[in-house]
Structure formats: structure tokens, C-alpha cells
């Protein structure tokens, strides 16, 4: 009695056959989707310390990891090549309703990166106690995270220490705003370092 099973239920004999040609879906599109998912998971591992605070508004039972994957899976993956890769310009490390940081100037030197941004004066809904959070990473994996209060000045300056990093070494820089109590964030902004 191979490839089928019998049993009795409610006084009836039931014979069940086993499936021979089990279909294991593995189409090219599914392989590409799995590769995209892997790219986003690896991106989360790079930015997890900041992404944890960057997605404070979540439904119950949803982790920062789930929120990050949901925000980035279709959008942040460049699928034009055979092997999918992350498009850092479209990657979101934070998501929310606070006003985003408006960058006015970016400079790089031997000490690191200096970012100038518009202060609270230009954003009436922003608070002086809001935090500006920055994340920078080099291509060799060295990361720097800076967090400072927005302040009440017309312009703000934020410095990210990345000693001896050249512009060509920088993989990405992101900025976002976080409320003083950490319950609301802004959308993250990719900062172009030239």
C-alpha cells in the first residue's frame, strides 16, 4: 500500500493518495523577489541602530524591522541589473510626519562631514527640542551616528566624524528629525556628499 493512506472516520473508510508531482514554485520572478528581499534585509543590518528609532509609529505587533522592510522592499531595490542591489537614494531609514531636515550645504574634509541645515525658524511646526539624527557609512562598513537637538537658530550645523574618509569612500549619509520624546519621526533624507 504505497503512495496512499487509509483511515476510518465516522464509520466510513477513507483512502487518500499522496501527491506525486509536488510543485515547488521557483520561477525567475520569485528568485528575483527573494534576492530583493535579501538586499533589503542586508540594508537593515547596516542601518538597524537608526532604523529602530526611525520607525516609532507602528501598529501593535509590528517591529521596526517589519516597518523598514515594508517601506523599502519594492522601492529601494534597483532591479535593472541581473543581480538586484540597493538604491541608497530611495532607501528610507525613517518614516513619519515631522518636517524633514532641509539641507543647505554639505562639506567633506579629513575630519569628516559637515552638514548645514535650516533651523526651527523656517519650520513653525518643528520644536527646538526635536533631534536631528544623522547616519553615515563608508564602503568598508565604518559607521558614524550623530544626534543633536534642532535648536532655535535660523541655521544649524551638524558634524559627522569620519576621519580620513574620502568622498569616494562614503556609501551613504541620511538625516531625519526625531521628536524629543522619540514618538514621532520625519521621513529620512539621503544627503549627497560631493
159 belongs to a structural domain = yes
Residue 175 in contact with residue 189, Cβ under 8 Å? yes
CATH code of the domain covering residue 77: 2.60.40.10
Each residue of 98-119: pLDDT tens digit?
888 889 999 988 888 999 998 8
What is the spatial order of strands in the sheet that 112-118 belongs to?
103-108, 112-118, 155-161
18-22, 53-57, 150-154, range with the lowest pLDDT: 18-22
12 belongs to a structural domain = no
For the chain, the residue count is 194
Does the pTM surpass 0.85? The reply is no
54 belongs to a structural domain = yes
Neighbours of 61 (CB within 10 A): 6
Round to whole Å and give the CA distance between 37 and 62: 18
Which residue range is the domain that position 140 belongs to? 28-190
22 belongs to a structural domain = no
Which residues are 192's β-sheet partners?
none
Choose among 14, 12, 69, 15: nearest CA to 44.
69
Neighbours of 126 (CB within 10 A): 21
Distances (CA, A) of 90 to 47, 67, 86, 94: 14, 15, 8, 12
80 belongs to a structural domain = yes
83 belongs to a structural domain = yes
129 belongs to a structural domain = yes
**Model pLDDT, residue 1:** 46
115 belongs to a structural domain = yes
How large is the angle between the packed helices 64-72 and 28-54, nearest 10 degrees? 130
Number of domain units in the chain: 1
Round to whole Å and give the CA distance between 55 and 50: 9
Each residue of 23-44: pLDDT tens digit?
667 888 888 888 999 999 999 9
Amino acid at each position: 500500500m504505497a503512495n496512499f493512506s487509509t483511515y476510518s472516520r465516522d464509520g466510513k473508510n477513507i483512502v487518500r493518495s499522496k501527491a506525486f508531482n509536488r510543485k515547488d514554485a521557483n520561477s525567475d520572478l520569485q528568485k528575483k523577489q527573494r534576492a530583493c528581499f535579501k538586499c533589503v534585509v542586508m540594508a537593515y543590518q547596516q542601518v538597524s541602530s537608526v532604523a529602530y528609532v526611525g520607525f516609532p509609529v507602528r501598529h501593535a505587533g509590528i517591529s521596526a524591522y517589519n516597518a523598514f522592510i515594508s517601506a523599502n522592499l519594492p522601492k529601494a531595490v534597483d532591479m535593472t541589473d541581473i543581480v538586484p542591489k540597493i538604491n541608497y537614494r530611495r532607501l528610507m531609514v525613517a518614516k513619519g510626519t515631522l518636517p524633514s531636515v532641509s539641507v543647505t550645504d554639505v562639506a567633506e574634509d579629513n575630519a569628516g562631514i559637515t552638514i548645514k541645515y535650516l533651523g526651527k525658524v523656517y519650520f513653525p511646526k518643528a520644536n527646538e527640542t526635536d533631534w536631528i539624527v544623522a547616519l553615515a557609512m563608508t564602503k568598508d562598513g565604518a559607521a558614524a551616528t550623530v544626534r543633536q537637538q534642532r535648536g532655535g537658530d535660523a541655521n544649524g550645523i551638524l558634524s559627522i566624524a569620519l576621519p580620513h574618509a574620502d568622498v569616494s569612500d562614503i556609501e551613504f549619509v541620511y538625516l531625519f528629525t526625531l521628536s524629543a520624546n522619540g514618538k514621532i519621526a520625519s521621513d529620512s533624507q539621503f544627503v549627497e556628499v560631493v
